[in-house]
Amino acid sequence: MKVATLALAAVFVLTAAGARAEPFRIAAVGARAPCAPPGGGAAAGERAYYDLLAKRLGRTAMKCGYASAADAAAGLARGEADMAWLDPVAFAPVRAQTRAILTVRGARESNRIPVVVAVRAGDPARDVAALKGRLIGFGGRSPAGLPTPQTVLSERGLAPAGYRPKIDVDGDQALAELRAGRVDAVAVHAAAWQRVCRMVSPKVPNPCADLRIVLKARPRAAQALVVRRDIPDELRYRLIGLHMPMHLEAPTAFAFATAGTKDAAEFQPAEADALTLATLK
Protein backbone atom coordinates (compact mmCIF):
# COMPACT_ATOMS: atom_id res chain seq x y z
CA MET A 1 0.00 0.00 0.00
CA LYS A 2 2.82 2.36 0.89
CA VAL A 3 4.56 1.67 -2.46
CA ALA A 4 1.33 2.29 -4.35
CA THR A 5 0.79 5.55 -2.47
CA LEU A 6 4.30 6.74 -3.31
CA ALA A 7 3.81 5.79 -6.97
CA LEU A 8 0.56 7.74 -7.15
CA ALA A 9 2.23 10.72 -5.48
CA ALA A 10 5.06 10.61 -8.05
CA VAL A 11 2.56 10.53 -10.91
CA PHE A 12 0.71 13.48 -9.37
CA VAL A 13 3.95 15.49 -9.03
CA LEU A 14 4.99 14.78 -12.62
CA THR A 15 1.53 15.58 -13.93
CA ALA A 16 1.40 18.81 -11.96
CA ALA A 17 4.85 19.79 -13.23
CA GLY A 18 3.74 19.10 -16.80
CA ALA A 19 0.61 21.15 -16.27
CA ARG A 20 2.66 24.07 -15.00
CA ALA A 21 5.01 24.03 -18.03
CA GLU A 22 4.39 27.21 -19.95
CA PRO A 23 3.69 26.96 -23.69
CA PHE A 24 6.58 27.55 -26.06
CA ARG A 25 5.56 30.48 -28.29
CA ILE A 26 7.00 30.99 -31.76
CA ALA A 27 6.64 34.37 -33.44
CA ALA A 28 5.53 33.92 -37.05
CA VAL A 29 5.42 36.73 -39.61
CA GLY A 30 2.13 37.08 -41.44
CA ALA A 31 -1.27 38.17 -40.19
CA ARG A 32 -1.53 39.29 -36.59
CA ALA A 33 -3.01 36.52 -34.48
CA PRO A 34 -3.00 35.47 -30.81
CA CYS A 35 -0.76 32.62 -29.75
CA ALA A 36 -2.34 29.22 -30.42
CA PRO A 37 -1.35 25.79 -31.70
CA PRO A 38 -1.55 25.54 -35.52
CA GLY A 39 -5.11 24.80 -36.61
CA GLY A 40 -6.38 21.83 -38.57
CA GLY A 41 -5.85 23.69 -41.83
CA ALA A 42 -2.10 24.01 -41.28
CA ALA A 43 0.22 22.44 -43.84
CA ALA A 44 1.77 19.07 -43.06
CA GLY A 45 5.23 20.56 -42.58
CA GLU A 46 3.98 23.17 -40.14
CA ARG A 47 2.10 20.56 -38.11
CA ALA A 48 5.15 18.31 -38.11
CA TYR A 49 7.40 21.11 -36.84
CA TYR A 50 5.11 22.24 -34.03
CA ASP A 51 4.37 18.64 -33.02
CA LEU A 52 8.10 17.90 -32.88
CA LEU A 53 8.81 20.90 -30.65
CA ALA A 54 5.89 20.02 -28.37
CA LYS A 55 7.06 16.42 -28.03
CA ARG A 56 10.73 17.22 -27.42
CA LEU A 57 10.14 20.19 -25.13
CA GLY A 58 7.31 18.61 -23.19
CA ARG A 59 5.07 21.64 -23.56
CA THR A 60 2.50 23.02 -25.99
CA ALA A 61 4.07 24.71 -29.03
CA MET A 62 2.13 27.80 -30.12
CA LYS A 63 2.26 30.06 -33.15
CA CYS A 64 1.96 33.81 -32.52
CA GLY A 65 1.17 35.97 -35.54
CA TYR A 66 2.99 39.28 -36.19
CA ALA A 67 2.70 41.65 -39.11
CA SER A 68 6.45 41.93 -39.80
CA ALA A 69 9.85 40.75 -38.65
CA ALA A 70 10.28 44.02 -36.76
CA ASP A 71 7.00 43.41 -34.92
CA ALA A 72 8.05 39.84 -34.15
CA ALA A 73 11.37 41.07 -32.77
CA ALA A 74 9.63 43.62 -30.56
CA GLY A 75 7.18 41.00 -29.33
CA LEU A 76 10.05 38.66 -28.53
CA ALA A 77 11.85 41.37 -26.57
CA ARG A 78 8.65 42.16 -24.63
CA GLY A 79 8.28 38.52 -23.59
CA GLU A 80 5.21 37.85 -25.74
CA ALA A 81 7.06 35.09 -27.66
CA ASP A 82 10.00 32.78 -26.98
CA MET A 83 11.61 32.38 -30.41
CA ALA A 84 11.55 34.06 -33.82
CA TRP A 85 13.29 34.03 -37.20
CA LEU A 86 15.03 37.40 -37.51
CA ASP A 87 17.32 39.12 -40.00
CA PRO A 88 20.04 41.66 -39.10
CA VAL A 89 17.72 44.66 -39.50
CA ALA A 90 15.02 43.27 -37.23
CA PHE A 91 17.57 42.01 -34.70
CA ALA A 92 19.48 45.27 -34.24
CA PRO A 93 16.90 47.09 -32.02
CA VAL A 94 16.50 44.07 -29.71
CA ARG A 95 20.12 42.92 -29.55
CA ALA A 96 20.37 43.63 -25.82
CA GLN A 97 17.33 41.50 -24.97
CA THR A 98 17.77 38.62 -27.44
CA ARG A 99 20.42 36.35 -28.94
CA ALA A 100 20.81 34.08 -31.96
CA ILE A 101 21.02 30.33 -31.34
CA LEU A 102 20.82 28.69 -34.79
CA THR A 103 21.44 29.45 -38.43
CA VAL A 104 20.85 27.35 -41.56
CA ARG A 105 23.64 26.29 -43.91
CA GLY A 106 22.83 26.05 -47.60
CA ALA A 107 24.02 22.95 -49.45
CA ARG A 108 26.50 24.97 -51.53
CA GLU A 109 27.75 27.09 -48.62
CA SER A 110 30.56 26.56 -46.13
CA ASN A 111 30.04 26.68 -42.41
CA ARG A 112 30.16 30.16 -40.91
CA ILE A 113 33.78 29.58 -39.97
CA PRO A 114 36.02 32.40 -38.73
CA VAL A 115 38.12 34.16 -41.35
CA VAL A 116 41.52 35.69 -40.60
CA VAL A 117 42.72 38.71 -42.55
CA ALA A 118 46.43 39.28 -41.95
CA VAL A 119 49.39 41.30 -43.20
CA ARG A 120 53.11 41.24 -42.50
CA ALA A 121 54.00 42.63 -39.08
CA GLY A 122 55.64 45.76 -40.49
CA ASP A 123 52.74 46.66 -42.77
CA PRO A 124 51.04 49.94 -41.79
CA ALA A 125 47.50 48.57 -42.48
CA ARG A 126 45.37 48.47 -39.36
CA ASP A 127 41.98 47.62 -40.85
CA VAL A 128 40.36 46.11 -43.93
CA ALA A 129 39.82 49.52 -45.54
CA ALA A 130 43.61 49.99 -45.71
CA LEU A 131 43.83 47.01 -48.08
CA LYS A 132 41.96 48.75 -50.89
CA GLY A 133 43.76 48.33 -54.22
CA ARG A 134 46.25 45.83 -52.80
CA LEU A 135 46.97 42.19 -53.65
CA ILE A 136 45.17 39.75 -51.30
CA GLY A 137 45.84 36.02 -51.22
CA PHE A 138 43.03 33.46 -50.80
CA GLY A 139 43.24 29.76 -50.00
CA GLY A 140 41.70 28.13 -53.07
CA ARG A 141 38.28 28.31 -54.70
CA SER A 142 36.31 26.12 -52.30
CA PRO A 143 33.45 27.77 -50.37
CA ALA A 144 35.72 28.13 -47.34
CA GLY A 145 38.69 29.24 -49.43
CA LEU A 146 37.20 32.06 -51.49
CA PRO A 147 33.48 32.96 -51.17
CA THR A 148 33.43 33.00 -47.35
CA PRO A 149 36.53 35.24 -46.95
CA GLN A 150 35.28 37.50 -49.74
CA THR A 151 31.95 37.84 -47.95
CA VAL A 152 33.70 38.89 -44.74
CA LEU A 153 35.68 41.53 -46.64
CA SER A 154 32.60 42.80 -48.49
CA GLU A 155 30.60 43.12 -45.29
CA ARG A 156 33.28 45.44 -44.00
CA GLY A 157 33.30 47.64 -47.08
CA LEU A 158 35.92 45.97 -49.28
CA ALA A 159 34.11 44.50 -52.29
CA PRO A 160 35.98 42.23 -54.76
CA ALA A 161 36.36 45.15 -57.17
CA GLY A 162 38.33 47.00 -54.48
CA TYR A 163 41.38 44.70 -54.43
CA ARG A 164 43.41 42.33 -56.57
CA PRO A 165 42.95 38.64 -55.67
CA LYS A 166 45.54 35.88 -55.88
CA ILE A 167 44.02 32.42 -55.58
CA ASP A 168 46.39 29.84 -54.11
CA VAL A 169 45.79 26.13 -53.74
CA ASP A 170 45.05 26.38 -50.00
CA GLY A 171 45.34 28.67 -47.00
CA ASP A 172 48.75 27.34 -46.00
CA GLN A 173 50.18 28.31 -49.39
CA ALA A 174 48.51 31.72 -49.22
CA LEU A 175 50.29 32.38 -45.91
CA ALA A 176 53.58 31.28 -47.47
CA GLU A 177 52.98 33.77 -50.28
CA LEU A 178 52.41 36.52 -47.72
CA ARG A 179 55.64 35.71 -45.93
CA ALA A 180 57.51 35.70 -49.23
CA GLY A 181 56.16 39.14 -50.07
CA ARG A 182 54.27 37.97 -53.14
CA VAL A 183 50.92 39.22 -51.76
CA ASP A 184 50.16 42.18 -49.48
CA ALA A 185 47.64 40.40 -47.27
CA VAL A 186 45.72 37.15 -46.91
CA ALA A 187 42.12 36.31 -46.15
CA VAL A 188 42.01 32.65 -45.08
CA HIS A 189 39.79 30.49 -42.89
CA ALA A 190 40.89 30.16 -39.28
CA ALA A 191 41.85 26.49 -39.61
CA ALA A 192 44.59 27.38 -42.08
CA TRP A 193 45.88 30.10 -39.78
CA GLN A 194 45.85 27.70 -36.84
CA ARG A 195 47.76 25.02 -38.75
CA VAL A 196 50.55 27.42 -39.64
CA CYS A 197 50.61 29.60 -36.53
CA ARG A 198 49.94 27.22 -33.62
CA MET A 199 52.70 26.80 -31.09
CA VAL A 200 54.42 23.44 -31.49
CA SER A 201 57.43 24.14 -29.27
CA PRO A 202 57.98 26.35 -26.19
CA LYS A 203 61.14 27.54 -27.92
CA VAL A 204 58.97 29.22 -30.57
CA PRO A 205 55.95 30.54 -28.63
CA ASN A 206 54.67 32.64 -31.54
CA PRO A 207 55.43 31.01 -34.91
CA CYS A 208 53.66 33.85 -36.71
CA ALA A 209 55.30 36.78 -34.95
CA ASP A 210 56.23 38.07 -38.41
CA LEU A 211 52.53 38.42 -39.30
CA ARG A 212 49.74 40.52 -37.80
CA ILE A 213 45.98 39.93 -37.80
CA VAL A 214 43.95 42.85 -39.12
CA LEU A 215 40.56 41.19 -38.70
CA LYS A 216 39.13 37.93 -37.39
CA ALA A 217 35.41 37.50 -37.97
CA ARG A 218 32.67 35.20 -39.17
CA PRO A 219 30.39 36.14 -42.06
CA ARG A 220 27.22 37.72 -40.76
CA ALA A 221 24.19 35.44 -40.88
CA ALA A 222 21.37 36.45 -43.21
CA GLN A 223 18.82 34.96 -40.81
CA ALA A 224 18.87 33.22 -37.46
CA LEU A 225 16.56 31.65 -34.95
CA VAL A 226 16.59 34.08 -32.03
CA VAL A 227 15.47 33.65 -28.42
CA ARG A 228 15.32 35.97 -25.43
CA ARG A 229 18.50 36.17 -23.38
CA ASP A 230 16.58 35.35 -20.21
CA ILE A 231 15.41 31.88 -21.24
CA PRO A 232 16.93 29.05 -19.17
CA ASP A 233 20.17 27.59 -20.54
CA GLU A 234 18.64 24.12 -20.41
CA LEU A 235 15.84 25.17 -22.76
CA ARG A 236 18.26 26.90 -25.12
CA TYR A 237 20.45 23.80 -25.33
CA ARG A 238 17.44 21.59 -25.95
CA LEU A 239 16.31 23.82 -28.79
CA ILE A 240 19.75 23.60 -30.38
CA GLY A 241 19.88 19.85 -29.85
CA LEU A 242 16.51 19.14 -31.43
CA HIS A 243 17.09 21.40 -34.47
CA MET A 244 20.58 20.22 -35.44
CA PRO A 245 19.60 16.65 -36.50
CA MET A 246 16.19 17.71 -37.84
CA HIS A 247 17.23 17.33 -41.51
CA LEU A 248 17.82 13.62 -40.78
CA GLU A 249 15.20 12.82 -38.15
CA ALA A 250 12.25 14.92 -39.33
CA PRO A 251 12.75 16.10 -42.94
CA THR A 252 9.16 17.32 -43.32
CA ALA A 253 9.48 19.54 -40.26
CA PHE A 254 12.94 20.65 -41.44
CA ALA A 255 11.61 21.70 -44.84
CA PHE A 256 8.99 23.88 -43.18
CA ALA A 257 11.38 25.39 -40.63
CA THR A 258 13.96 26.30 -43.30
CA ALA A 259 11.61 27.40 -46.07
CA GLY A 260 13.35 30.81 -46.20
CA THR A 261 16.76 29.31 -47.08
CA LYS A 262 17.52 28.09 -50.59
CA ASP A 263 18.88 24.52 -50.73
CA ALA A 264 18.91 24.26 -46.92
CA ALA A 265 21.22 21.50 -45.74
CA GLU A 266 21.23 21.66 -41.93
CA PHE A 267 20.82 23.77 -38.83
CA GLN A 268 24.03 24.94 -37.18
CA PRO A 269 24.55 26.41 -33.70
CA ALA A 270 25.25 30.13 -33.77
CA GLU A 271 26.96 32.64 -31.54
CA ALA A 272 24.76 35.23 -29.80
CA ASP A 273 25.71 38.05 -32.20
CA ALA A 274 25.57 36.02 -35.43
CA LEU A 275 23.32 38.70 -36.98
CA THR A 276 25.88 41.46 -36.41
CA LEU A 277 29.32 42.38 -37.77
CA ALA A 278 31.00 41.29 -34.56
CA THR A 279 34.75 40.66 -34.51
CA LEU A 280 36.46 37.72 -32.80
CA LYS A 281 39.47 37.74 -30.51
pLDDT tens digits, 73-114:
999 999 999 999 999 999 999 999 999 999 999 998 889 999
**What confidence score (pLDDT) does residue 223 get?**
96
Q: Please report the pLDDT score of residue 5 as a whole number.
A: 44
Q: Cβ(81)–Cβ(35) under 8 Å?
A: yes
Does 4 score more than 60 pLDDT?
Answer: no
Give the CATH number, domain containing residue 29.
3.40.190.10
Same domain, 90 and 138: no
Residues 100, 270: contact at Cβ < 8 Å? yes
Q: Is 253 domain-assigned? A: yes
Mean confidence (pLDDT) of the chain: 92
Q: Do 48 and 129 belong together in one domain?
A: no
275 occurs within a structural domain: no
Task: Give the predicted TM-score (pTM) of the model.
Answer: 0.87
On whether the CB atoms of residues 188 and 146 are closer than 8 A, the answer is no
Residue 83 counted as domain residue: yes
Do 101 and 122 sit in the same domain of this protein?
no
Residue 20 pLDDT class (50, 70, 90 cuts): low
Q: Is 95 helix (H, G, I), strand (E, B) or coil?
A: coil
- Name the residue with higher pLDDT: 199 or 279: 279
Same domain as 250, residue 163: no
**What single string gives the DSSP state of each residue in 72-87?**
HHHHHHHTS-SEEEE-
Distance in angstroms (rounded) separating the CA atoms of residues 209 and 18: 57
Q: Do 138 and 126 belong to one domain?
A: yes
CA distances 259 to 155, 234, 254, Å, are 25, 27, 8
Structural domain ending residue among the three candidates 217, 235, 251: 217
Count of residues in the chain: 281
Is there a domain that residue 103 lies in? yes
Question: Which residue in 220, 222, 66 sits closest to 153, CA to CA?
Answer: 220
Domain extent for 198: 115-217
Residues 226 and 191 both lie in one domain: no
| Number of domains within the chain | 2
